[in-house]
Amino acid sequence: MKRELNKKGLKATPQRIEIIKFLSSTKSHPSAEDVYKFIKEKFPTISFATVYNTLITLKNTGDIKELSIDPERKRFDMDLTPHDHFFCRKCKRVYDIYDLLRGYKIKIEEIDEHQVEEISLYYTGVCRDCKNKIGKEVTKI
């Protein structure tokens, strides 16, 4: 991890390494606030600005994706494999969705000669867990 950061001209600070470890250990698509809360436990003097700037630096180096799926805050994803996302408007969780529409091949020429670098598809609705809770609440009435 230290070598990879150094290759990109970034200092391998303990805080930066801890942020990367946290992002690689979770599938929750944390916000900058979530990362800050986690990192602050280990580094009590770290500022929110440091965490946020580190996330933006990692985004700019291509190590993480910034997701705009949540209308309230940006989320971050370290899984760089092609996949889509589902946002539950009830519990606010973000889920990975793999291979749903990836079978479609798009030719770059077919998109008005624009160079396509990434395709992001976001789904919004109610997740399975929340849908089941809603169903149980209706049944109880």
Taking the C-alpha atoms of residue 92 and residue 81, their distance in angstroms, rounded to an integer, is 23
pLDDT 10s digits, 19-48: 999 999 999 999 999 999 999 999 999 999
In this predicted structure, the answer to whether residue 111 has a pLDDT above a threshold of 80 is no
Query: Do residues 76 and 99 share a domain?
Result: no
- As for how many domains the chain has, the answer is 2
* Predicted confidence (pLDDT) per residue in 3-18, tens digit: 887 788 888 889 999 9
pTM of the model: 0.81
At 139 the pLDDT is 47
Contact 115, 108 (CB under 8 A): yes
71, 97: one domain: no
Q: What is the pLDDT of residues 68-100, one digit of tens each?
A: 999 999 999 999 888 899 999 999 999 999 876
Q: What residue numbers bound the domain in which 112 lies?
A: 81-141
Please tell me whether residues 73 and 100 are part of one structural domain: no
Choose among 127, 65, 92, 24: nearest CA to 38: 24
Residue 127 has pLDDT above 90, yes or no: yes
Last residue of a domain, one of 52, 80, 108: 80
Do residues 18 and 73 both lie within one domain? yes
Q: What is the mean pLDDT of residues 53-73?
A: 94
Listed residues 80, 109, 128: the one ending a domain: 80
Q: Do 3 and 71 fall within a single domain?
A: yes
Which residue type is seen at 127?
A: C
Q: Which own/partner pairs from 64-71 qualify as long-range (CB within 8 Å, at least 24 positions apart)?
A: 64/23, 67/29, 67/94, 67/120, 67/122, 69/29, 69/94, 69/122, 69/124, 70/31, 70/94
Residue 138 pLDDT exceeds 70: no
The pLDDT value recorded for residue 106 is 55
